[in-house]
Structure 1
């Protein structure tokens, strides 16, 4: 069901031109991250594209904000930093990862990139290479990684689809990082959980996305 849902969503995306309606990653790359207020707390960097940035939502409706509320409620002493850039690609992420990780006491990186690469037909080998470099940079600093995956639709061709769909689990296995197969699990194609564009989760959909991310994140947390 997860695979079928993402295939259909991707088909919608491939004709939507959605990247054109979002702020350019270059315009946002050097803007400050969401301000930190607890310098003594270990940090979780939520690093991704519009799904992380909270496209079409208020800051308090974005998944990094909701994740912070869940962590606080469960007694975890972490601070979540929203490092999402709408429209970003794995190449854009690689270009800004050093700056994004240059925070005090970063402990976990939630890495959710690749959807925009898919829409642009970027070779899976390049996507994999970019993500691998990001993961290696994080691990070199002793930072734990949660890799959030995507899936390619048949319209990309069987060879591209198979290569793309393999890259996330292969990266997770090769670099021994936590892995979430599909970031929009339980949200994709449910009209009541998405914005008018049928692509980006609305406030209710983002709550579900946050719950899913939290489930995969919890094994990495410490109290």
Structure 2
């Protein structure tokens, strides 16, 4: 007890500790540890890095192998309601390109996901992807450009290319699993390094 200006003050219970902010990652196989041992993917490494940096954040990995932007869009609302994230990382679009889905549909889905996350009070990090040159120069440019277009329209953070330094390196084959699509375990730290600088700016 303490007396302040003649008034008896009885300390109340200690204030409840604020729960850590949640980072929700909604992605495809590149974030879902496809072909990797559990705990070795870039999202798992992110959680370890934040703990090492003493960042009070909880990472929820809601990534699904094979998912498209349409799938992510349909899954997002219940994920937002369940986890109430402070930050949402959207890593989708690669499977849209692999399946030859219309680019305008991919763009609309990414816009809708970004807007939904913002309306739920979350900050958004959009993670971009690129396709190999054999898809054609015009298509490749349009596909990679739609991520920056959505980010600019919605004024959200952007990682232009998740596989920078991996898919575009001189010896890129050594960075992938046997399918030449999914990065191997040794490449996961580089993927995290591509994401982390922008993501750290969004952590409350």
TM-score scaled to structure 1, two decimals?
Answer: 0.77
Any idea what SS the aligned residue of 1:204 has? helix
- The Cα of 1:154 is off from its aligned counterpart by 4.4
- Cα deviations across residues 22-58 of structure 1 (Å, max 9, x unaligned)? xxxxxxxxxxxxxxxxx92211011100001010112
Any idea what SS the aligned residue of 2:130 has? coil
Q: 2:176 aligns with which of 170, 194, 198?
A: 194
Residue matched to 1:221: 203
**Is contact 2:36-2:184 (8 Å) kept?**
yes
Any idea what SS the aligned residue of 1:52 has? coil
Supply the RMSD in Å over aligned alpha carbons.
1.7
Change (3 A) 1:121 1:59: same
Q: Which has the larger radius of gyration?
A: 2
- The Cα of 1:215 is off from its aligned counterpart by 1.7
Higher helix share: 1
Residue matched to 1:56: 35
Residue matched to 1:137: 116
- The Cα of 1:213 is off from its aligned counterpart by 1.0
Partner Cα separation in structure 2 for residue 174 and residue 128 of structure 1: 11
Any idea what SS the aligned residue of 2:182 has? coil
Residue matched to 2:23: 44
Partner Cα separation in structure 2 for residue 59 and residue 47 of structure 1: 17
**Is contact 2:84-2:120 (8 Å) kept?**
no
Any idea what SS the aligned residue of 2:163 has? coil
Partner Cα separation in structure 1 for residue 96 and residue 147 of structure 2: 13
User: What are structure 2's unaligned runs of at least 5 residues?
Assistant: 1-17
- Cα deviations across residues 129-157 of structure 1 (Å, max 9, x unaligned)? 00100001000011011101112444444
Partner Cα separation in structure 2 for residue 93 and residue 162 of structure 1: 23
- Cα deviations across residues 118-176 of structure 1 (Å, max 9, x unaligned)? 01111111100001000010000110111011124444445433432321111110001
**Is contact 2:86-2:203 (8 Å) kept?**
no
Any idea what SS the aligned residue of 1:102 has? helix
Partner Cα separation in structure 1 for residue 178 and residue 144 of structure 2: 27
TM-score scaled to structure 2, two decimals?
Answer: 0.84
Partner Cα separation in structure 2 for residue 52 and residue 166 of structure 1: 21
Q: 1:94 aligns with which of 73, 93, 109?
A: 73
Q: Which shifted more, 143-152 or 66-75? A: 143-152
Residue matched to 1:76: 55
Any idea what SS the aligned residue of 1:46 has? strand
1:208 and 2:177 aligned: no
User: What are structure 1's unaligned runs of at least 5 residues?
Assistant: 1-38
